A and B are shown apart, each in its own frame.
Chain A
Amino acid sequence: MAASSIPVRKPRRKEFRNATLRWTLLGPALFVIAATIIYPLISSFITSFRHWQLTDSPEPGDFVGLENYRRALSDAGFINSLKVSGEYMLLSVGLTLTLGLGIALLLQKPTRLNQFARALLIFPYAVAPVLKGYSWRFMLNPEYGVYAKMIGKLFPPLDHFLWLGHEFSALLVIAMSEVWGWAPLFALMFIGALGSIPSETTEAAKVDGATSFQIFWKITLPLLAPVIYIVALLKIISAFKMFDQIAIMTGGGPGDSTQTLYYYVYQLAFRNLDMGYASAVSYLLVVLMGIIAALYVRTLLSRGD
Chain B
Amino acid sequence: MIKAVNGKQKRRLVLSLAALGALGGVSSNVLAQTAATYHLKPNKPYNGTKVKFLICCATAGQFAQMIKLTGPGSDFEKLTGITVQWENTPYESLQQKILVEATTGNTYDAVAWVDAWGEAIKPYLAPLNGRIEADRINMKDYPNAYIEASTDKSGNIIGIPLRGHPLILFYRKDIFDELKLTPPKTWQEAVKTAQIIQQKKPGMSGLSTMYGVNAGQNLFSWVSMLWGNGGDILDKTGHPVFNDAKGVQATQFYVDMLRKYKITNPASTTFGEPESSSELKQGRAAMWVGWWWYWAQFSDPKAVAPAVLNHVGFTPAPGWAGGKKASYALVWPLGIFKNSKNQDAAWEFIKYVTSSAVQKQVASNRSNPAVADNTVVLFSGMADPKVNAANGGIPKVGGQVLRNARTLPQVKTWSQIQGVLEVGMNKMATGTDVKATLDQMAKDVDAIQKRANIY
Contact = CB atoms under 8 A, between A and B. Distances in A.
Contacts of B266: 162, 165
A270 B102 CA distance: 15
Contacts of A141: 267
B213 interface: yes
Contact of B426 (A162, A253, A270): A253
A58 B284 contact: no
Interface string B406-446: 00000011011001000110110110100000000000000
A61 to B, nearest CB: 12
B93 to A, nearest CB: 8
Given A53-B452, A253-B426, A272 B270 contact: no
A277 to B, nearest CB: 9
B430 A255 contact: yes
Nearest to B452: A53
B99 A251 contact: no
B212 A251 contact: yes
Interface string A41-64: 000000000000111111000000
B267 A165 contact: yes
Interface string A129-152: 000000000000111000000000
A54 B213 contact: no
A272 B416 contact: yes
Nearest to A53: B452
A160 to B, nearest CB: 8
B104 A58 contact: yes
Interface of B is mostly: helix
Contacts of B284: 143
A255 B212 contact: no
Interface residues of B, number: 31
B128 interface: no
Interface of B: 95-96, 99, 102-104, 119-120, 212-214, 265-267, 269-270, 272, 284, 412-413, 415-416, 419, 423-424, 426-427, 429-430, 432, 452
A166 interface: yes
13 contacts: A55-B99, A55-B412, A56-B452, A143-B265, A162-B269, A162-B270, A254-B213, A254-B269, A254-B427, A271-B416, A272-B415, A273-B99, A273-B415
Q: Which of B102, B269, B429 has the most CB of A within 10 A?
A: B269
B238 to A, nearest CB: 14
B430 A254 contact: yes
Given A55-B120, A255-B423, A270 B96 contact: yes
A53 B120 CA distance: 10
Nearest to A58: B103
Given A162-B266, A254-B427, 17 more contacts: A55-B119, A58-B102, A58-B104, A162-B270, A164-B270, A165-B269, A251-B213, A251-B272, A252-B423, A253-B269, A253-B426, A254-B430, A255-B427, A256-B423, A267-B419, A272-B415, A273-B120
Interface string A155-175: 000000010111100000000
A204 B352 CA distance: 87
A250 interface: yes
B423 A253 contact: yes
Nearest to B215: A251
A253 B270 contact: yes
Most chain-B Cβ atoms within 10 A of its Cβ — which of A55, A57, A143? A55
A162 B267 contact: yes
Contacts of A251: 212-214, 272
Interface string A165-193: 11100000000000000000000000000
Contacts of A253: 212-213, 269-270, 423, 426
